[in-house]
Amino acid sequence: WRRGDEVFAEVALPEEESAEAADYGIHPALMDAALHALGLGVLPAAGEGRARLPFSWSGVTLHAAGAAALRVRVGPLGDAEDTVSITVADPAGAPVATAESLVVRPVVTAQLEVAGSCVHDSLFRVDWVTPPTGSSSVEARRWTVLGPDPLKVGQSLEQTGATVFAADDLDSV
């Protein structure tokens, strides 16, 4: 929907993914979908072979977490050709998030293609290694917590049955 220079959109997670929404302030897929409203004419076109991407956020507030569907308002901020404000609400209209300003910058789409192709030429890769089962050794269940432990990591490890040693410094280990 449009009202003058403002664009309004409704976005929602697929039903099978909606339970994951509770794990996030705003689910990344929902936020990505909400930002697609930027491409609906809120700002002047970036030009042939160019796209506008989020660059700088200011005045961001998360009012509520865990929404599986959002209503989004994106509008230009003043006379700036590269800045918008964003308001996000849940389907009942309760505030979820606001961004006083989001500055976008144009990027040549060919640069995005080059950046994406670099992943395939990487010297690194992910290998999934299945750990051996049933061979838990006592050594694997011994931990040393070095220095102060304000988060009580040692206590948490002990609750799993691990043996935990506390050391003030490396010389004590």
Taking the C-alpha atoms of residue 26 and residue 29, their distance in angstroms, rounded to an integer, is 8
Q: Is the pLDDT confidence value at 134 over 90?
A: no
> What is the arithmetic mean of pLDDT over 162-172?
89
The structural domains of the chain, ordered by start, are: 2-116 (3.10.129.110), 140-172 (no CATH)
Phi first, then psi, for residue 112 (nearest 5°) are: -65, -40
Taking the C-alpha atoms of residue 27 and residue 62, their distance in angstroms, rounded to an integer, is 12
> What is the arithmetic mean of pLDDT over 10-27?
92
Q: What is the pLDDT of residue 107?
A: 83
34: left (phi over 0), alpha (psi -120 to 50) or beta: alpha
Q: Is the pLDDT confidence value at 66 over 90?
A: yes
Q: What is the pLDDT of residue 81?
A: 78
Q: Is the pLDDT confidence value at 120 over 70?
A: no
Q: How many CB atoms lie within 10 A of CB 43?
A: 21
> What is the arithmetic mean of pLDDT over 118-124?
64
Strand partners, 87: 73, 98
Taking the C-alpha atoms of residue 118 and residue 61, their distance in angstroms, rounded to an integer, is 35
Q: Is the pLDDT confidence value at 160 over 70?
A: yes
Residues 6+ apart with CB under 8 A from 134: none
- What secondary structure letter does DSSP report for 39? G
Beta strands 163-167; 83-89: pairing state: unpaired
Q: What is the pLDDT of residue 144?
A: 92
Tens of pLDDT along 33-54? 999 888 777 766 666 767 788 8
Tens of pLDDT along 81-107? 789 999 999 999 999 999 999 998 888
